[in-house]
Structure 1
Amino acid sequence: MISLPVQPVLLHTDALLWLIVAVTTVFLWRARRTPRLVMAFQQLARRPIAVASLVLLLPYMSVALLDSVHFQRSLTDAGGTYHAPVESLLDRLLLPLSERTEKTYSAPLALFSYSKETRAGDDRRLQRTFPRLRHGGAHLSHAQARGADIRQRALPAAGLGLGTGALLAGLVCWRLARREGIGLADAARRLLAGKTPTAWRSALLTATAFFVLAAVIASLATVYHVLGTDKVGQDVLYLSLKSIRTGVVIGSGSLLIALPLAIVLGTAAGYFGGRVDDLVQYLYSTLNAIPGVLLIAAAVLTLDVYMDQNVAAFANVQQRADLRLTALCLILGATGWIGLCRLLRGEALKLRELEYVQSARALGLKQVRIISRHLWPNLTHLVLLTAVIDFSGLVLAEAVLSYVGVGVDPGTISWGSMINTARLELAREPAVWWSLAAAFVFMLGLVLPANLLADALRDALDPRQRSEH
């Protein structure tokens, strides 16, 4: 029997995230055949802020997808047997960061530990000193050389990032010149002036800035702890990158459950009225009367009891943590559709009284066709805007849930757990601030572009906004 070097492992959240990718791909493929959506996306592509936001979101999605391809490595001395820990492609790429651990805290780009230790000096007398780190700057013979070493590593890396951005700009100019039938010089002038059908100038500037930053961090991360280390000596940059998948899964997975409920129930309540409206109102009024945190806490604690009583049902720790993350997405999705449902109900009550809807009903069109052709297109901008705002709220809510102890599993790396730990670190003297700062910056990099993209999508998809322009 031939044993494979790796055994693929499909976690629940992996399937959920890849399902979202498949649904998005199918939607974009079908949108190419819809003139209204094509015009909306063309208008979106002309907005510099929207294009720049999309460029910033792509690295987050790439990291989340790399961290959603899991496998177990084969043991070299036992055929058909695999290592118990489940790894991902991102784990293999970040292996140097995860393995280079220190004893305790260390500041960003530091050479010495943040805590003093009692050590014997050259005269064999005990003294309190800051010991050198085992990995951070270990290649330097003396601390004074750190500044020069950082510059020597950062400047070539920044040049590499600029060169990558220039190469990408050259490819865009070449493509633009072929499509428009003009010379490369004319294409470059149009690109620099921002007179292209797509906001390529904004996209290229954003991508170049990202390439420079990523190249500098990658160059320094090989010998330094760029964002410092936490209490147990783990690299904060590694923890921040691993937290991306958790944030994306919680935000997008919860929306995948909440959006269909809100769209179907809200539209049905507003359009049909009567008993359907009463039933939907009764449902979301009952759920809204229960404090969300208590409902989530009850569900998560019930799940914990089940997992404690069925330990043998989980092959490893990762599957247990993944089940809790999946359950958290289900709970947040089942309780997060109420606000959008109310909004869509009110809008559907207004739209059903408009003349074109009344005409369609008078002509005898089926109710499903009227809803899909006349109501939903006018609700798309509300759904997208509310969805992205809710996405941001769900990412931030994970920090609150981790604070009260009903968030993700303690073995799951997340921004919420980093912030929860950082609140105790800030009470130290001197304060340990870099864990909180790293989680905040990474969360801001995901939430802010998503909100800016939502505003642009609303303007592009709202028929009333297009009529004003």
Structure 2
Amino acid sequence: MLTYLTQRLLYVLPVVILVSFVTFVLFFMVVPPEIMARRHLSAKAPTQEDLQNWLQQHGYDKPLCVNLQKDSHGKRHPLDTQFVRHMRSVVTFDLGKSDQTGEAISSILKRRMGPSLMLTVPAFILALFIDLSLSLLVAYYRGTYADRWALLGCVLLMSVPFLVYIIVGQWLISLQLRLFPLSGWEGGFHAAKFLYLPIVLSVVSGIGGSVRFYRTLMLEETSRDYVRTARAKGMGETRILFRDVLKNAMIPILTSAVMAIPFLFLGSLLLENFFGIPGLGSLTIDAINASDFAVLRAMVFVGALLYVLGLLLTDVSYTLVDPRVRFEGTPLNRMVLPVAVSTAAVFGFGALARGAVQFGERAQSLGQSIQRPWIAQNVFVCVLTVAAGVAVWSAMRRPHWQEAWRRVKQVPLAVVALLVVCLYGALGLSDSLSWKDSRGDLRPLSLLDRAFHPARERTYSAPFATHEIGERDPQRLQHGRHYLGTDSTGEDVLYQSVKGVRTALIIGLFTTLLVIPLAIVMGLCAGYYRGWVDDTIQFLYTMLNSIPDILLLVALMMILGRGLPQVCFALAITSWVGLCRLLRGETLKLRELDYVQAGRALGLSDLRILWQHILPNVMHVVVIAFVLRFSGLVMSEVILSYLGIGVTPGTASWGTMIDGARLELARDPTIWWNLTGAFTFMFVLVLAFNFFGDTLRDALDPRLRER
């Protein structure tokens, strides 16, 4: 263990250096120093001399990585670069000064860390206690009405986007009931009145996903042999759950819980921004909006240190709860290979990404020159539809999936949920096939547009209303009633909600299909082979996950540009690490079990053991992660739209509608139908997908079947 901890501590330096370098180059590719200086000095009509002085003052007057310039004595100083200056300050823990205010960043972090911890620590402790208690209670009453109603409540709770919790919570509790302040902050004990509502919203919004995930782990453990043996000896269910089941299910729980502890220092971006809490989360959003790259780089550095600390705490906790998990540690002379492979992979991926960006720009210009680009889009959609049908047909020919489908059909609500998902898929497909009737058409019309496209009014109108909403003399609607009213531009809300189905399916499905294969391969290989393979994969996702997701998403979206493919690609890069770590933890436990050891003794190949013995026993984790990933990705588009890095303007999406509706609830009269339309369509899709995924998960895992 000591060797392993030493190895991980020595990994801190290359991880932080490489993360700082990648992030440094990434942000300076987005906004060069000259443009950054013009942004900060735009109000002063700066001259070239003013720009140069600003660059010298903030240390941006040197080349990025290599300095080939000669000084006055004719000598070169290749290491006199912005990156070396930055790394020198990082090593000495001198975080520099803010580009926006000139204040020392270390002072800003110290001042803002307190409010963040006052919000996140109580929310984390309370949420963990409630989630584990409810999951144990649900597992205790498995198969009863209490279990079914609890599962339904979890699915309902997790089907609501976090942004909707905040918007509705502020409108209902603060504006209507006036129980807590809408936003604001005061120091000392007076801060409690500003923290009650955000803490409650944070806990309630996470109950659904956490309890459902923990319930899966508890039910898996209750079906094992040692539980049946304990019951046969007459032990009580309470003692079995709290002494045996909880302890043996702690590895996946610790993977998610312990990793969250260090990041409590970074605060909550949305809660702090909406409720006016001056923490590190609101600091990050302010830095993004102000292009304060010094603060962003400092947050990346702090995030990298916290993430490495979380990895150490998680791996140490594994050995405390399960003595079978042992980390011998790779000899220190073998550390060079994982670091070298990971570094080469990162720079290779960076080169491919740069080439992909250039190819995308050329493809976009080529697409603009094509007279009928919708033909290629239609062909692509048809090919994907046929491929999906072939994949389903091939799976249904296998006995394992046939048995799973037979069990799914025994649950009527699951069949209804599948039909709802198929209906959404049909709507998305009909909105993806389009063409022009004549060259004079401004844009191609999809099947959905031709079947349902209500005429546009002038401004707001309520559902089923005959007159528009006006301050003095509301006029009669020109095109009749609208079932869900119209928005500020007069567009039909029901039509916009239906158009958002295509965007949600693209983001949810395509991103998930990119994430899951990568996470399965990396997680199983890391947990099964251990050694340098585990070290390399851990180094890769340590380095990637050390960069805060929001900063990485902002940088990627600003480089790639806004659009659906860019959103899917950026979300995929930031989403595979969590499932990879879960699968690695499960594989570490499964590889020590008797049937895996017996397979090795019989001479089975590693590939066969992984494919036939380990993968089927982690499929329930993959399925539930797929459902959670899909639901989370669909709802994450709401947050991306709020941050201004979502889909391109003009693309119909539920996130754009919800983001625009957050200010309409404060109007008089209240404009509620925009939020209701988008939320209802999103809620039904996520709810149906979650319920069907739960049923399919239970059908795939033979250990959870009713006997």
Q: Could you say whether these structures have the same fold, taking a TM-score greater than 0.5 normalized by the shorter chain as the test?
A: yes
Give yes or no for the alignment of 1:280 onto 2:526.
Answer: no
Give yes or no for the alignment of 1:262 onto 2:519.
Answer: yes
Per-residue CA deviations over 1:323-362 (Å, capped at 9, x if unaligned) read x210110111121111111111111112222222222222
Per-residue CA deviations over 1:346-390 (Å, capped at 9, x if unaligned) read 111122222222222222222222211112212222111111111
Matches within 5 A, 1:43-54: 43-54=407-418
Match in the other structure for 1:445: 684
Secondary structure class of the residue paired with 1:54 = helix
The 1:303–1:236 alpha-carbon spacing in structure 2 relative to 1, beyond 3 Å, is: same
The answer to which structure, 1 or 2, has the higher relative contact order (CA under 8 A, 6+ apart) is: 1
Per-residue CA deviations over 1:296-341 (Å, capped at 9, x if unaligned) read 111111123xxxxxxxxxxxxxxxx7xx210110111121111111
Give yes or no for the alignment of 1:9 onto 2:374.
Answer: yes
Q: Identify the range of structure 1 (393-402 vs 419-428) with the bigger mean alpha-carbon deviation.
A: 419-428
Give yes or no for the alignment of 1:86 onto 2:444.
Answer: yes
2:477 is aligned, of 112, 133, 137, to 133
Output the CA distance in 2 between the equivalents of 1:347 and 1:11. 43
The 1:134–1:399 alpha-carbon spacing in structure 2 relative to 1, beyond 3 Å, is: same
CA contact (8 A) 2:501 2:653 kept: yes
Measured after TM superposition, the shift of residue 18 of structure 1 is 5.4
Output the CA distance in 2 between the equivalents of 1:344 and 1:107. 49
Secondary structure class of the residue paired with 2:498 = helix
CA contact (8 A) 2:378 2:433 kept: no
Match in the other structure for 1:109: 464
1:37 is aligned, of 397, 401, 416, to 401
Measured after TM superposition, the shift of residue 10 of structure 1 is 5.0
Per-residue CA deviations over 1:411-430 (Å, capped at 9, x if unaligned) read 11100000111112222111
Match in the other structure for 1:373: 612
Give yes or no for the alignment of 1:354 onto 2:593.
Answer: yes
Match in the other structure for 2:432: 68
Measured after TM superposition, the shift of residue 291 of structure 1 is 1.3
Output the CA distance in 2 between the equivalents of 1:425 and 1:364. 67
Q: Identify the range of structure 1 (363-372 vs 41-50) with the bigger mean alpha-carbon deviation.
A: 363-372
Match in the other structure for 2:579: 340
The 1:13–1:252 alpha-carbon spacing in structure 2 relative to 1, beyond 3 Å, is: farther
1:385 is aligned, of 587, 602, 624, to 624
Measured after TM superposition, the shift of residue 253 of structure 1 is 1.0
CA contact (8 A) 1:263 1:344 kept: yes
Output the CA distance in 1 between the equivalents of 2:406 and 2:535. 41
Structure 2 counterpart of 1:348, one-letter code = T
Secondary structure class of the residue paired with 1:248 = helix
2:486 is aligned, of 221, 229, 249, to 229
Secondary structure class of the residue paired with 1:432 = coil
Output the CA distance in 2 between the equivalents of 1:298 and 1:13. 31
Identity of aligned residues (%): 47
Q: Identify the range of structure 1 (341-350 vs 30-39) with the bigger mean alpha-carbon deviation.
A: 30-39
The 1:55–1:13 alpha-carbon spacing in structure 2 relative to 1, beyond 3 Å, is: same
Per-residue CA deviations over 1:234-263 (Å, capped at 9, x if unaligned) read 000110000000011100011011111111
The 1:379–1:351 alpha-carbon spacing in structure 2 relative to 1, beyond 3 Å, is: same
Match in the other structure for 2:570: 331
Q: Identify the range of structure 1 (456-465 vs 230-239) with the bigger mean alpha-carbon deviation.
A: 456-465
Structure 2 counterpart of 1:377, one-letter code = P
Measured after TM superposition, the shift of residue 90 of structure 1 is 1.2
Unpaired runs of 5+ residues, structure 2, are 1-370
The 1:229–1:303 alpha-carbon spacing in structure 2 relative to 1, beyond 3 Å, is: same
CA contact (8 A) 1:50 1:453 kept: yes
CA contact (8 A) 2:627 2:689 kept: yes
TM-score by length of 1: 0.68
Output the CA distance in 2 between the equivalents of 1:465 and 1:358. 24
Per-residue CA deviations over 1:257-281 (Å, capped at 9, x if unaligned) read 1111111101111111111111111
Match in the other structure for 2:507: 250
The 1:241–1:427 alpha-carbon spacing in structure 2 relative to 1, beyond 3 Å, is: same
CA contact (8 A) 1:270 1:346 kept: yes
Output the CA distance in 2 between the equivalents of 1:131 and 1:370. 72
Structure 2 counterpart of 1:227, one-letter code = L
Give yes or no for the alignment of 1:460 onto 2:704.
Answer: no
Per-residue CA deviations over 1:393-451 (Å, capped at 9, x if unaligned) read 11111010100100111111100000111112222111111000111111101001111
The 1:453–1:255 alpha-carbon spacing in structure 2 relative to 1, beyond 3 Å, is: same
Aligned length: 337
Match in the other structure for 1:159: none
CA contact (8 A) 1:70 1:89 kept: yes
Output the CA distance in 2 between the equivalents of 1:399 and 1:10. 30
Output the CA distance in 2 between the equivalents of 1:108 and 1:275. 62
CA contact (8 A) 2:378 2:434 kept: no
Secondary structure class of the residue paired with 1:129 = coil
Q: Identify the range of structure 1 (386-395 vs 29-38) with the bigger mean alpha-carbon deviation.
A: 29-38
Measured after TM superposition, the shift of residue 14 of structure 1 is 8.0
Unpaired runs of 5+ residues, structure 1, are 1-5, 76-81, 117-127, 137-223, 305-320
Match in the other structure for 2:637: 398
